[in-house]
Structure 1
């Protein structure tokens, strides 16, 4: 008899969201077809069902959107901060009112479990708009001068792992500061951004303040290179981030990049093991590991390695992989066939290089893109799985003996986005936080976010900060 508790399916209804068969671009307050007439399909990664057809923006469309944003900038930037705040408050309330619809849409288009999109993503999306609404009439008190001015038109390119949340991280501070926006969502997850365009219309946002251009990488490249874009914000891969940096080099565009990561989750021998195991699982298996700050490297003190790994394997055996719309699902679908191939290739490399692979027995669905939660032991610093970002539910385990060794191993990476420290000693936490070259260090927790807290990295994890008072600086002429 299995000791695991058997859960009956508890699917969320798809009927709460009405997806149109096709969507145009959102330019100057209206949905419009792409000038070139090109379209592409967006599919559900859980079953490869075509959800909708979406317009592919070209250079002519980018030109139209930037012109609309530039025209709208004059009146939007001239509004008193308190008036801009009203629009942001309205958007936040509408997101709350439509949160169930948006959560189902996000899980359908992205593949993440409904429990995460409903309980993590959507509350944070609304919270960011509420938070920056509060800043809109207080910019003179943010520490960037008595009367800081907006930059102009912001070109923003966001990834597929948190489509709506990354939109909120970008758009909310930009609008609060008086800028207008042209945003390009990821090619595989365009739907929530298009639904957000409808929310902008519901909120009565003036035309042209927010424009949404769907398309592939070429659309993003056109937007980044446009001469009338004053600010570029990008979240995504380090490779693309480097290309963007080369594009804007020598121009007067302001740039922030939030790129990849290879975070260390460090567990000392005095850590509460069960609590640490929950943090480890949340750190790497949340959102299928599609998290730039995922704790993909577990550094565990040698003396507790066996105890911790035994507890971790027990916990991993209880994770439920399957239908993202089932409220009991812990791990949903991998976002795309391309990402699944990348994860598979790196996991196979881990095995071929001598690391020991373990995964709980779990039945994966026949259709769609799936990867079982996986653990590697016997990993060294030289292994590809210890150096390269996998961006999937794969955890590499390394050991250490002293705090100094833990710091050396944690910092031995080209990335520097996040880290976690598990110990009962407050002095050790502070010592580690000072030594770790990471933009954010979590203490006895992982993957905790708040709109008032800045987020960003060092080295190949990018530069600039999003969130908090610090997130305003990138959208102000200081």
Structure 2
């Protein structure tokens, strides 16, 4: 399959004519050809977005009209959900059932922010000056550079596009080079939804080749990025040179804490959901399972028993629970962490063998792996593996659980499993994480803010808070005085 980028309302190849292949993680076979953009393509895309922001119909649309276009887009995503989910599975190897669930949910982002577009109000401010009328209102930044990760391309795009467009910005969207096809196909829906040319532009290519050109472009006013902390740190540094606004959703090493008074069946399922869903390739993965001493051994047996039932195989098969990891580089990275865990003395209680079952195919499969007797000082407990690898850590009491949970440079998410009402209310306050799930895990909504603390990022996505990330507040002073006296003193 041949794909094209979207720049200025036109489907285009890279100016150089170069392309690269998308490889299906399940069979390791190339299945699509994608434009390989260079810095000159970035310049063209940003120029198109800048022109659309300053001229033409987009800046003259009312917020209500912008909302209507977003709702049109939501309808189109809903009608193409099966096609787009199939493309995502071919691109990144995640389960079709999960991708389809996401695609059927994604329209809600465009409906929600479409409805919110005309409900952002300014304010009249009382001031201590006579003959002055003061008010404030919100304005869009301009051109937004939106960069998404390969694990859920269109869901992450919705996190960014829906509030950015509702606020009146224009966008240059760059998907990961490891999963570009669903986004390039999605780009074709904007014209059908009625968006003017240049409001949304989609370019594909390799981050090291065009990342700095995009994030450092002088006409880009705002950057929103989902990906690794390493790349986020670089983007933040580049953005800081021109004082660009930045929203970063980065990695995590999230603690999933199980207390002795928990409903252990639910907690065991929550532990599995936290690490094996999406083959562990999710930023909020509960990769550190903290278990109270008194139930540790029995609970570990319960989790291992459930993990043994997970079926690896074709991600298009509804019976499959675990798909391949997305790339060969990620596969090699995870394998390397398995060796590190063994060398550090972690006890392997499930998985971790050198080769997967040959019956499931030749894709990049990592079997579910669980390590016990892990300490929080081990690399397997401190670094983001981004695979189906669980570290189990004991704790004695609530204070030690909190200490272990917070002893990480990350702060994206955390889970708590307990039937103690006081603990369920008070303990989230002590955890340094942007999202805390209590007696559930990995729940998301377009209506509630999401974002991390510490090295897990800055800013929020989703909910009313998200649209504020794409707006600037302006204060306007209006004098009703008959004269302007003494120009040499402050008013």
Which bin holds the TM-score, normalised by the shorter protein?
over 0.9
The answer on 1:323 being equivalent to 2:314 is yes
Distance in 2, matches of 1:40 and 1:343, equals: 25
Which of 291, 297, 307 is matched with 2:288 structurally?
Answer: 297
Paired residue secondary structure (2:188): helix
Structure 1 residue runs without a partner (length 5+): 1-20
Which of 20, 35, 49 is matched with 1:69 structurally?
Answer: 49
Quote the offset at 1:430 in angstroms.
1.9
- Contact 2:123/2:137 (CA < 8 Å) preserved in 1? no
- Contact 1:41/1:51 (CA < 8 Å) preserved in 2? yes
Quote the offset at 1:143 in angstroms.
12
Distance in 1, matches of 2:320 and 2:10, equals: 37
1:319-373 per-residue CA deviation (whole Å, 9 max, x = no partner) reads: 1111000011111110000000111101110011100113259725342211001
User: What's the counterpart of residue 452 of structure 1?
Assistant: 447
Distance in 1, matches of 2:19 and 2:469, equals: 33
The answer on 1:206 being equivalent to 2:217 is no
1:136-195 per-residue CA deviation (whole Å, 9 max, x = no partner) reads: 111117999853111100001111011110111111110000000001100010011111
Quote the offset at 1:101 in angstroms.
1.1
**Superposition CA RMSD, Å:** 1.6
- Point out the more displaced range, 21-30 or 323-332: 21-30
The answer on 1:24 being equivalent to 2:24 is no
Alignment of 1:385-400 (within 5 A): 385-400=380-395
Distance in 2, matches of 1:94 and 1:288, equals: 29
User: What's the counterpart of residue 105 of structure 2?
Assistant: 124
Q: Which runs of 4+ in 1 moved over 6 A?
A: 141-145
User: What's the counterpart of residue 110 of structure 1?
Assistant: 92
Distance in 2, matches of 1:32 and 1:298, equals: 47
Report the number of matched residues: 457
Quote the offset at 1:275 in angstroms.
0.4
The answer on 1:420 being equivalent to 2:401 is no
Quote the offset at 1:78 in angstroms.
2.8
Aligned pair in 2 of structure 1 residues 272, 142: CA closer, same or farther (>3 Å)? farther
Structure 2 residue runs without a partner (length 5+): 126-134, 474-491
Which of 396, 403, 406 is matched with 2:398 structurally?
Answer: 403
The answer on 1:134 being equivalent to 2:107 is no
Distance in 2, matches of 1:322 and 1:385, equals: 26
Distance in 1, matches of 2:421 and 2:217, equals: 49
Paired residue secondary structure (2:318): coil
- Point out the more displaced range, 75-84 or 163-172: 75-84
Distance in 2, matches of 1:116 and 1:100, equals: 11
Provide the TM-score with structure 1 as the length reference: 0.93
Distance in 1, matches of 2:65 and 2:318, equals: 39
Quote the offset at 1:24 in angstroms.
2.2
User: What's the counterpart of residue 6 of structure 1?
Assistant: none
Distance in 2, matches of 1:68 and 1:142, equals: 33
The answer on 1:250 being equivalent to 2:241 is yes
- Point out the more displaced range, 360-369 or 145-154: 360-369
The answer on 1:93 being equivalent to 2:75 is yes
Paired residue secondary structure (2:106): helix
Paired residue secondary structure (1:247): helix
Which of these two proteins has the greater Rg computed from alpha carbons? 2
The answer on 1:147 being equivalent to 2:129 is no
Quote the offset at 1:60 in angstroms.
0.9
Alignment of 1:213-224 (within 5 A): 213-217=203-207, 218-224=209-215
Aligned pair in 2 of structure 1 residues 44, 142: CA closer, same or farther (>3 Å)? farther
- Contact 2:71/2:114 (CA < 8 Å) preserved in 1? yes
Alignment of 1:275-314 (within 5 A): 275-314=266-305
Quote the offset at 1:250 in angstroms.
3.1
Distance in 1, matches of 2:22 and 2:69, equals: 30
Which of 157, 161, 164 is matched with 2:147 structurally?
Answer: 157
Distance in 2, matches of 1:73 and 1:450, equals: 29
- Contact 1:76/1:179 (CA < 8 Å) preserved in 2? no
User: What's the counterpart of residue 177 of structure 2?
Assistant: 187
Quote the offset at 1:431 in angstroms.
1.7
